[in-house]
Amino acid sequence: MINRLKDEKGQILPFAALTLLALVMFWMTVVNVGKMIRDRIMLQNAADAAAQSAACAKAKALNSIGLINASLGMPVVALGVPYFVWLPYCHHTVPKGFIEILIRFQDALYHTSGTLALGIAREVARENGADELIYYSPKFLMDGSLKRYTLERNEGTIVYFDTTIVYVLGIPVPIPWPYHKYRNAKRWLELKEDEDEIHDALRVTVIAVKNPERGFFPLGKGLLGIDEMPAIYAIASARPYNTKGPMFPSHGRRWGVSALREYFSARSGGYDAHLIPVEIFGREFQH
């Protein structure tokens, strides 16, 4: 009896089983964590691509808005004079309608470019593996609202010309004649604040989300007590920029030629987009 109690054969089996179980749990944990790290890297790439895509869409819109602004700043347009003003009996409603069409088209770019940029960002994020995309920016509304934007309409007097007829040696000669003055009329776009503010205000910040995942992963649901893979988030920021200047005149300029000059001085650079550090509570963090 005493010899049987002293027999130690088989006592290593419980320790071997526990050690094997620990190793299996460790291996499953490593695999699960590795998948999370892989998904996190993938999601960060999706967030970066989405932010830069949205910023690129905004940059293209700004280039188009700047071109229209240059047209509104041309004296023959800003004063209400169409290119065909020398045509006989050209009524003042023709140049007025021409200016209004330009302004409406320019305003439409504001309201559609933001929605388009957000749609592009969401599509790019989903193509790169994200389930959802959250847009966040404390300084700029994605819909391009003029109230939050750093550009505003210059208001001033527009003189609309009619065409009058002057007889020279009995020959009727059409000449432009100022007939109507519209005060506080909408004209070209100008900077609301400092020139540098436009680049900071155009910051695009997005958060890519990968929802909790059920299925083959996580490994060892019963052993580890985990029913699903946790949700993953990634944040990224980008913004349009122009190395040659803001492309828009400073606040309070009286003459539209300033809008024309600012566009041509910055046209060679054009608006482009790049990733920037994420700003949270006034502090910047690299991606």
Highest mean pLDDT among 195-199, 230-234, 283-287: 230-234
| Per-residue pLDDT tens digits for 197-230 | 676 677 888 999 999 887 777 777 766 677 788 8
pTM of the model: 0.77
pLDDT, average across residues 98-113? 84
Length of the chain: 287
Asked whether the beta carbons of 125 and 100 are under 8 A apart, the reply is no
Highest mean pLDDT among 8-17, 75-84, 162-171, 237-246: 237-246
Q: Long-range pairs for 114-118 at CB < 8 Å and ≥24 separation?
A: 114/58, 114/141, 114/142, 114/143, 114/144, 115/142, 115/143, 116/57, 116/61, 117/53, 117/54, 117/55, 117/57, 117/58, 117/61, 117/142, 117/204, 118/54, 118/142
Neighbours of 191 (CB within 10 A): 21
| Per-residue pLDDT tens digits for 26-58 | 888 888 888 889 999 999 999 999 999 999 998
Judged against a pLDDT cut of 60, whether residue 170 lies above it is answered with yes
Strands (DSSP E) contained in the chain are: 132-136, 151-168, 171-191, 204-210, 232-241, 272-276, 278-280, 283-285
